[in-house]
Amino acid sequence: MSSHDDHDAFEGASLSARAMAARPMPYLDELNPAQREAVEALDGPVLMLAGAGTGKTKALTARIVHLLSTARAAPNEILAVTFTNKAAKEMKARVGRMLGEHVEGMPWLGTFHAICVKLLRRHAELVGLKSSFTILDTDDQIRLMKQLIRANNIDEKRWPARQLAGIIDNWKNRAWTPQNVPSAESAAFNNRGTELYDQYQRRLLELNAVDFGDLLLHVVTIFQKHEDVLAQYQRWFRYILVDEYQDTNVAQYLWLRLLAGGHRNICCVGDDDQSIYGWRGAEVGNILRFEKDFPGAKVVRLEQNYRSTEHILAAAGGVIRGNEGRLGKELWTEAGEGWKVRLIGHWDGEEEARWIGEKIEDHQSGRSEEAKNRYNPRLNSFQQELDRRAKSGLGPVDEHQYVRDAFESGSVYSDMKTFNLVKQLLDRDKYSARYGNMLGALGDYVVHRFSLDEIAILVRASHQMRAFEDRFLTIGLPYRVIGGPRFYERLEIRDAMAYFRLVVSPADDLAFERIVNTPKRGLGDKAQQKIQVCARDNGVPLVEGARILLAEGGIGGKGAGELRALIDNLDRWGRMTGHADLSHVELAEQVLDESGYTAMWQNDKTPEAPGRLENLKELVKALENFDNLQGFLEHVSLIMDNASEDQGAKVSIMTLHAAKGLEFPAVFLPGWEDGLFPSQRSMDESGPKGLEEERRLAYVGITRAEEVCTISFAGNRRVFGQWQSQIPSRFIDELPGEHVEVLTPPGLYGGGFGAAAPGYDGIQSTVDKRASEANVYNSPGWKRMQARAGQRPMSQPRETRSQVIDLEAVSRYTIGDRVFHQKFGYGAITGIEGDKLDIDFEKAGTKKVVAKFVMAGDDVPF
């Protein structure tokens, strides 16, 4: 196909550049000076160093709009690359909003991979592929490698396919083809890495398939080997914009350099302090080297932060300062100093989860129960004092009334304004000496009201999530886990996709392998081996091999009939594609039903089954957005979004990695313990570099917070079922003391973690001392104390109250009822206590669960 015609025919080219030129430029007025500078420097290389929360996306989109408005480029002449679909989508939406109309064009705004697919489909033949190539995901890759490993008689146990996949992925990230893997790597995978890599690539070509790494690698190869093709694209993409430049790997870097080679109109946006993907090939070096790579580059720093308060920024800044070789940025804000970053240690992980759950409930009510209990006695005496004064006619009664009301209604706890006013009134009084101090301490316990949506828990490793899920389930706190397995990676979705792939292209061997015996068709290893052999001997795809085998009678019993049915079905479905009277959506449904796949899950009694059926329905629904099965398959592996957003306010739980780019008014950062965070593995594998990346991760974590940031650690933690005593993270030592407030854990009597004797005045003075005096907790001594405190016997953690007693939910049940729980599956009620049920689950054992989280067994759909 002539690519030049394509270019002229691009959607959106109709949006004429001249029409845009007449447009006013209101978007420029919304930018601060630095942003504006970055937006207006249109020509030549530009590096936009955008710290966390400095309006990077805003500047980037404004730049696109500016390019269009000044008629520098038509929409189809701008290449804008992001890393995630989410970012691409967001940018598209924002450009549209800024232009005030629906923008059809911007065909080249997308992820690296999505854009590469487009390019590769145009030039597939240059690397020996057909333009209809399929994109394999990680699962397919690993299965393919497993076959290779077996074929090479390598011990799979000592040399697992996963490891090989990792190695090859790594090489691809560095843009090494099998031919130019450096000899220094030749020891990889028992000295056979390079050889297997070569075999793997050959096999992919045979299958007309590529993996994710290939998408980039092939395009880079094409650009390097075919100057004419490269020159064409250099002319077409007049302006290049790159988001999250600090996350680019070598292959992406080369790709960009090649494309920008002519005009050098490239604008890279990034933050070296937020580079957290080194382990998957990102090179911070790319951004550090930018000015060398593009001499004369303009560097613009965005340093005004619009997200967090001063204390939070200062704490984050203090940590990141420990890294070397930074480009250097100093974030500032007009938001005011706000609250200090809170720091607290706990006995163990469960206690930590319990405490955080409690704090979240405090954020709901806007007051801290803990503070109320602790200060109530004093408040009472204060009120008595006020009463006495009022009676004896001393002092301005109205003001005292206000103060008293503030306490009685609780607004002094929940509203900072009231609190400050009360404090002012008291300060003016002679009581300030006696009560003001108390109020100062109380101020630390005034809790902001946040909706659950505004609260996030960011963990280092996903296994930390369980403690929180368990805890929140028992206290009935709604939560959502962000970033689990992606929709299209789920078992049932991949199975269904394999069926669709076979319908569209019967020669798809990987798909065939996946579903021959799913659902069970009595075709075990033996039968499958026979099919493989037959196919190979005849040099045909597996489906054909199976057909021949059946004709020869090489397969018998139950399997033969089932296999014949499957093949006949595939033939029939294949003929049905493109039929006018049957939409591809109906066809898909039919395929899933007739193959017995739906039935398989309907008959499955495990608790996941209903969810899987739900997902299948959703998959079919997603098909409606495409014209045919083929189009759907082409896009799904790259673009399919996660399952539908469930509504309702919920606390978000996610990894620090998943949190990048997000922001929350209140953020909890649990598990700051050496070995967990910074992660031992990261340090073992990458040494000081690994530690620096972990530190950047800490920086990312803290800078997610807008108002309240709470860091915690536990003295003990269960790791793989073993109890381990933990030492607080070295990053805690790096937090600047004047921006941190150390809290005393609940249930810690007699002071733990270096706290002075607790008590009414204790908190205030302890906090003050900690904050202002020489870094008490910054010393090695503090660190040792932490470690010791972990071993000190502590009071039994107290049971916390559940949020709301939902009696209606409980009343529906009696002991012995069979119930269903989303997470634990089926079980029988063995006891009822308040709004909680004791349930003996068939699969999960005995648990205590809040009644509203279960449903009667009969209500369960199937």
Q: Which residues are catalytic?
A: 56-57, 243-244, 274, 704
Determine the size of the site formed for DNA (CB under 7 A).
49
Residue 527 binding DNA, by CB under 7 A = yes
Q: Looking at beta carbons only, is 720 or 859 nearer to DNA?
A: 720
| 799-800-804 Cα angle (round to 5) | 140
Residue 463 binding DNA, by CB under 7 A = yes
Residue 681 binding DNA, by CB under 7 A = yes
C-alpha–C-alpha distance, residues 676 and 690, integer Å: 13
Residue 57 binding DNA, by CB under 7 A = no
Task: Compute the CA torsion angle 539, 540, 545, 551 (nearest 10 deg).
Answer: -90
CB of 851 to DNA, least distance (A): 22
Peptide bond into 519 cis (omega under 30): yes
Beta-strand relationship, 825-833 and 818-821: antiparallel
- CB-CB neighbours of 228 under 10 Å: 6
50 appears as a binding residue in the annotation: yes
C-alpha–C-alpha distance, residues 684 and 678, integer Å: 11
Q: Looking at beta carbons only, is 368 or 703 nearer to DNA?
A: 703
Question: DSSP string covering 65-78, please?
Answer: HHHHHTTS--GGGE
Q: Looking at beta carbons only, is 85 or 437 nearer to DNA?
A: 85
Peptide bond into 75 cis (omega under 30): no
C-alpha–C-alpha distance, residues 218 and 210, integer Å: 9
Residue 469 binding DNA, by CB under 7 A = no
Residue 597 binding DNA, by CB under 7 A = no
Q: Looking at beta carbons only, is 83 or 237 nearer to DNA?
A: 83
Encode burial over 638-672: b for 16+ CB neighbours within 10 A, e otherwise. bbbeebeeeeeebbbbbbbbbbbbebbbbbbbbbb
Beta-strand relationship, 722-725 and 705-719: antiparallel
Q: Which two tokens stand for residue 207?
A: 């299958």
C-alpha–C-alpha distance, residues 209 and 70, integer Å: 42
Query: Footprint of DNA on residues 410-429 (CB under 7 A)?
Result: none
User: 79: helix, coil or strand?
Assistant: strand
Residue 123 binding DNA, by CB under 7 A = no
Q: Looking at beta carbons only, is 86 or 388 nearer to DNA?
A: 86
Residue 204 binding DNA, by CB under 7 A = no
Among the listed residues 54, 111, 199, 764, the single contact to DNA using CB under 7 A: 111
Among the listed residues 54, 679, 703, 786, the single contact to DNA using CB under 7 A: 679
H or E stretch at 715: strand 705-719
User: 423: helix, coil or strand?
Assistant: helix
Q: Which range touches DNA (CB under 7 A), out of 71-79, 305-313, 524-532, 578-586?
A: 524-532
Task: State phi, psi for 292 to the nearest 5 degrees.
Answer: -75, -40
Q: Which range touches DNA (CB under 7 A), out of 66-74, 334-342, 644-652, 682-690?
A: 682-690
177 appears as a binding residue in the annotation: no
Q: Which range touches DNA (CB under 7 A), out of 438-446, 493-501, 536-544, 652-660?
A: 652-660
Residue 552 binding DNA, by CB under 7 A = no
Residue 848 binding DNA, by CB under 7 A = no
Q: Cα–Cα distances in Å, from 3 out to 236, 254, 854?
A: 11, 22, 58
User: 230: helix, coil or strand?
Assistant: helix
Per the DSSP assignment, residues forming a β-bridge with 848 are 838
Residue 279 binding DNA, by CB under 7 A = yes
Among the listed residues 130, 202, 225, 526, the single contact to DNA using CB under 7 A: 526
Q: How far separated are the first and last CA of the chain, in Å rounded?
A: 51
Q: Which range touches DNA (CB under 7 A), out of 73-81, 595-603, 653-661, 747-755?
A: 653-661
Residue 174 binding DNA, by CB under 7 A = no
Classify residue 180 by its DSSP letter: G
329 appears as a binding residue in the annotation: no
Query: Footprint of DNA on residues 700-739 (CB under 7 A)?
Result: 718, 720-721
Per the DSSP assignment, residues forming a β-bridge with 210 are 135
Task: State phi, psi for 210 to the nearest 5 degrees.
Answer: -135, 155
The full length of the chain comes to 862
The angle, 0 to 180 degrees and rounded to 10, between the axes of the packed helices 349-365 and 465-475 is 50
Residue 100 binding DNA, by CB under 7 A = no
Distance of CA 237 to the CA centre of its chain: 31
Q: Looking at beta carbons only, is 278 or 737 nearer to DNA?
A: 278
Residue 524 binding DNA, by CB under 7 A = yes
H or E stretch at 439: helix 437-443
Residue 521 binding DNA, by CB under 7 A = yes
Q: What's the one-letter identity of residue 247?
A: D
CB of 854 to DNA, least distance (A): 18
CB of 410 to DNA, least distance (A): 38
Residue 304 binding DNA, by CB under 7 A = no
| Residues 809, 811, 814, 818, CA torsion sign | negative
Q: Looking at beta carbons only, is 212 or 499 nearer to DNA?
A: 212
Residue 84 binding DNA, by CB under 7 A = yes
User: 381: helix, coil or strand?
Assistant: helix
Nearest by Cα to 364 from 452, 440, 439: 452
Per the DSSP assignment, residues forming a β-bridge with 820 are 826, 855
| Maximum distance among all Cα pairs of the chain, rounded to whole angstroms | 111
C-alpha–C-alpha distance, residues 352 and 393, integer Å: 49
Q: Looking at beta carbons only, is 682 or 703 nearer to DNA?
A: 682
Q: Cα–Cα distances in Å, from 7 out to 46, 96, 105?
A: 26, 22, 12
Residue 643 binding DNA, by CB under 7 A = no
Q: Looking at beta carbons only, is 112 or 468 nearer to DNA?
A: 112
Residue 525 binding DNA, by CB under 7 A = yes
Residue 408 binding DNA, by CB under 7 A = no
Q: Looking at beta carbons only, is 5 or 720 nearer to DNA?
A: 720
User: 461: helix, coil or strand?
Assistant: coil
Q: Which range touches DNA (CB under 7 A), out of 90-98, 455-463, 727-735, 848-856?
A: 455-463
Annotate each residue in 124-163 with x if it binds DNA (CB under 7 A) or - if it does not, as one string. --------------x-----------------xx------
| Residues 179, 184, 187, 189, CA torsion sign | negative
Q: Which two tokens stand for residue 508?
A: 């798809």
Annotate each residue in 778-817 with x if it binds DNA (CB under 7 A) or - if it does not, as one string. ----------------------------------------
Residue pointed to by tokens 């039994």: 796
Residue 549 binding DNA, by CB under 7 A = no
611 appears as a binding residue in the annotation: no
Residue 213 binding DNA, by CB under 7 A = yes
54 appears as a binding residue in the annotation: yes
Q: Which range touches DNA (CB under 7 A), out of 196-204, 227-235, 300-308, 454-462?
A: 454-462
Q: Which range touches DNA (CB under 7 A), out of 82-90, 265-273, 338-346, 367-375?
A: 82-90
CB of 521 to DNA, least distance (A): 7
Residue 85 binding DNA, by CB under 7 A = yes
Q: Which range touches DNA (CB under 7 A), out of 63-71, 229-237, 458-466, 496-504?
A: 458-466
Residue 682 binding DNA, by CB under 7 A = yes
Among the listed residues 62, 114, 145, 743, the single contact to DNA using CB under 7 A: 114
52 appears as a binding residue in the annotation: yes
H or E stretch at 740: strand 740-742
For the annotated binding site for ATP, the residues are 50-57
For the annotated binding site, the residues are 50-57
List interacting residues with DNA (CB under 7 A): 83-86, 111-114, 138, 156-157, 169, 212-213, 278-281, 460-463, 483, 486, 517, 520-528, 559, 638, 654-655, 657-658, 679, 681-682, 685, 690, 693, 718, 720-721
